[in-house]
Amino acid sequence: MRFRSIVLASATCIALAGAAYAAVHGIDTAAMDTSVKPGDDFYAYANGGWMKTAVIPADRSSWGSFAALAQDVQTRNRGLMQQAGNAPEGSEARKVGDYYAAFMDEAAIDKAGLSPLKSEMARIAALKSQSDVAREIGESQRIDVDPLNDTNFHTDHLWGLWVAPGFNDPTHYTPYMLQGGLGLPDRDYYLTDNARMADIRAKYVAHIGKVLTLAGIADAPKKAQAIFDLEKKIAALQESRVDSESIQKANNAWTRADFAKKAPGFDWNAYFTAAGLSKQNNFIVWQPGTIAAVAKLSAGVPVDLWKDYLTFHLLDENASFLPKAFANEDFDFYSRILSGTPQQSERWKRAVNATNAALGDAVGQLYVKRYFPASAKAKAEEMVSNIKNALKHRIDKLDWMAPATRAKAKEKVDAFYVGVGYPEKWRSYADVKIARGDALGNQLRVEAENYHYWIGRLGQTVDRDEWAMTPQTVNAVNLPLQNAVNIPAAILQPPFFDPDAPDAVNYGAIGVTIGHEITHSFDNTGAEFGPHGELTNWWTKDDFAHFTAAGQRLARQFDTYKPFPDLAVNGELTLGENIADLGGLNAAHDAWIASLHGKPAPMAQGFTGEQQFYLGYATVWRTKTRDAALRRQVLTNEHAPGQYRALEVRNVDSWYAAFAVKPGEKLYLAPKDRVKIW
């Protein structure tokens, strides 16, 4: 949830939202375990009954509130995509239908074999020099995910490339260069010295060899080991996730000429020309030490090894669109071994996911028209307004904040763009050719169009209202460089939002989600950006020191949570999300209280309004995760596991009163030890 992302209405939405929630308009008491004291384990009290009976589906690495709703949305999208196959030829809806149908056509994919990659593989095979290698890396460059919104960011392209508003000029789009080059999720998978990681490394080498063998490449085992050894050298030069979180460390302005001076050893001119960046003079380099070190390393890598490395990653990143043996191998390593998922998802589910990723706004238009009524949008927008006002009132009451800082903070709240449901302008896919019977060709054309779309925006004026998520996404996002929040239509359904549920429950669930995203603009990263997305220091020295110290206290609190005896949550890595959760809780609670207009909150199902609010919050974090996936999350993800996010309540005074939590109970914190930030 870089809320910067949070993970993760009408009766029509409720009816489609899933059996687990459709029949319960409020607290699902059957999911609770009231034998547990709220003050000992609030997560178990709220979700213990569900935890005892819930079963993770065989094709999932985890299961919970987000996953259950996402699966329901996935089913709806399947119907929309199938129907879109009958839309008029040339329409965007028809492209959705044809893309989905092509992915579903396994016979055509098997028959095509590797032929859709013939030109790319031939180009790699013809490389003769380091300049040729740099040119190929530029030719195959793709736009990667937003590191501000996903610290689980990694790319198997040697360089990560991202286009966004500039740190120092948020009114214009700027290219960002980032570290990349790895096939495993994180540098620690290559460098950590324990038996489990050693086993994963051995299996990754085997995976590389299997992919090369499937492609008919000779000496696959030997080449696989060499490819892994190269990636391990790259990993050793990379910055850690925690270091990569620092915006100040990331803000390194380089001209195109600086690359040859500061990062010699790589033919940057060949790369930039092939990548379509030859006319771009200004860049932000996120990890300059890594870029320089990998450039130096690259000069000593034999061209034949680069050819094997590039061939493997070309095959690996397109495995889902290749014959069944490649797709199965991709699942076996990345899902079964890395995440513990025992069974591959049905083909249609993978087709829905691929179509959403390729033609997201086109699918979104179909989804909104069918499943998102105006009444849901209006209700959510009302909650957004109430929560923004509550946050401003909280800022007014902060006794540690100087007037100058307070004025800037409130200015930032006033400048928020909060999009609810769907974007005001839809992206066009008019220039993308989609053909039935050509799944991989479709994907390659979509990727090329997406790359040119973003490269074409460099130097243009930023649209602050532009969305970063599709309406059919069960999640939400904060965009610090735009001072904007997106709340997609798909998350505005039970258990997050139910117009037939008590307001207290809705404010505890979707209200906290909205508050979480808004508070991301004031987390340890968001706090460095001004009201218009500019990177600026709007704090007094003492105020920022107080804010930083409070954040460190919260980080140390999360450091104590241990999902495994040998592995604890990383409080520094998860700090932004934890600040956002705490701020979202406080702002949503105040907004709910204000919505009562001085009247007492009604009881419901035997619970007070306060209890309903906090139970609504805990329900959102209902999650079961396979051990392998949980370890991966703790090591690489900026979000703490759900059972610990639910425990943010121990920092909120009104939770203690709501459940009569007393000293001596396990979650009890003395008032002086409760972290107060926003």
State whether 320 and 368 are in the same domain. Answer: no
Contact partners, residue 310, CB within 8 Å, separation at least 6: 124, 127, 133, 136, 137, 140
State whether 473 and 340 are in the same domain. Answer: no
pLDDT score, position 144: 74
DSSP string over 500-551:
TS-HHHHIIIIIHHHHHHHHGGGSTTGGGB-TTS-B---S-HHHHHHHHHHH
Q: 16 pLDDT band (50/70/90 cuts)? A: very low
The CATH number of residue 520's host domain is: 3.40.390.10
**Side-chain half-sphere exposure of 674, counting CA atoms within 13 A:** 19
Structure tokens at 514: 């909205």
Return d(Cα 624, Cα 65) in angstroms, integer.
10
Q: Other C-beta atoms within 10 Å of 369: how many?
A: 10
pLDDT score, position 25: 87
State whether 473 and 337 are in the same domain. Answer: no
The CATH number of residue 251's host domain is: 1.10.1380.10
State whether 71 and 204 are in the same domain. Answer: no
Nearest CA to 340 out of 195, 162, 151, 200 is that of: 200
Structure tokens at 652: 């909120």
Give the position of tokens 């992915």.
103
State whether 59 and 207 are in the same domain. Answer: no
Q: Where is the domain boundary, 344, 367, 386?
A: 344
In tens, the pLDDT along 132-184 reads 999 999 999 998 766 655 544 557 899 999 999 999 899 999 999 999 999 99
Q: Other C-beta atoms within 10 Å of 455: how many?
A: 18
In single-letter form, the type of residue at position 671 comes to P
Return d(Cα 447, Cα 432) in angstroms, integer.
10
State whether 328 and 388 are in the same domain. Answer: no
State whether 375 and 334 are in the same domain. Answer: no
Residue 584 domain boundaries? 11-77+358-425+463-673
pLDDT score, position 148: 59
Q: Quote the DSSP letter at residue 237.
A: T
When divided into structural domains, the chain yields a total of 2
Contact indicator for 76, 367 with CB cutoff of 8 Å: yes
Pairing of strands 173-179, 282-285: parallel
Lowest mean pLDDT segment, chosen from 2-16, 186-200, 212-226, 370-384 = 2-16
pLDDT score, position 155: 75
State whether 292 and 386 are in the same domain. Answer: no
477 in a structural domain: yes
Structure tokens at 627: 């051990």
Return d(Cα 161, Cα 137) in angstroms, integer.
12
452 in a structural domain: no
Q: How far is CA 333 from CA 116, 225, 341, in A?
A: 24, 16, 10
Q: 321 pLDDT band (50/70/90 cuts)? A: very high
What percent of the chain lies above the pLDDT cut of 70? 95
Residue 18 has pLDDT above 90, yes or no: no
545 in a structural domain: yes
89 in a structural domain: no
In tens, the pLDDT along 376-393 reads 999 999 999 999 999 999
State whether 362 and 322 are in the same domain. Answer: no
State whether 400 and 314 are in the same domain. Answer: no
E strand residue ranges, 171-266: 173-179, 253-255
450 in a structural domain: no
Q: Is the peptide bond before 495 cis (omega within 30 degrees of 0)?
A: yes
Q: Where is the domain boundary, 301, 319, 344?
A: 344
State whether 592 and 503 are in the same domain. Answer: yes
pLDDT score, position 19: 38
88 in a structural domain: no
In single-letter form, the type of residue at position 237 comes to L
pLDDT score, position 152: 46
Q: Which helix (H) or strand (E) holds 513?
A: helix 512-519
In tens, the pLDDT along 255-276 reads 999 999 999 999 999 999 999 9
- Quick one: angle between helices 92-104 and 347-358, nearest 10? 140
Q: Where is the domain boundary, 281, 315, 344?
A: 344
5 in a structural domain: no
443 in a structural domain: no
What percent of the chain lies above the pLDDT cut of 90? 92
Rounded to an integer, the average pLDDT of 471-480 is 95
State whether 406 and 277 are in the same domain. Answer: no
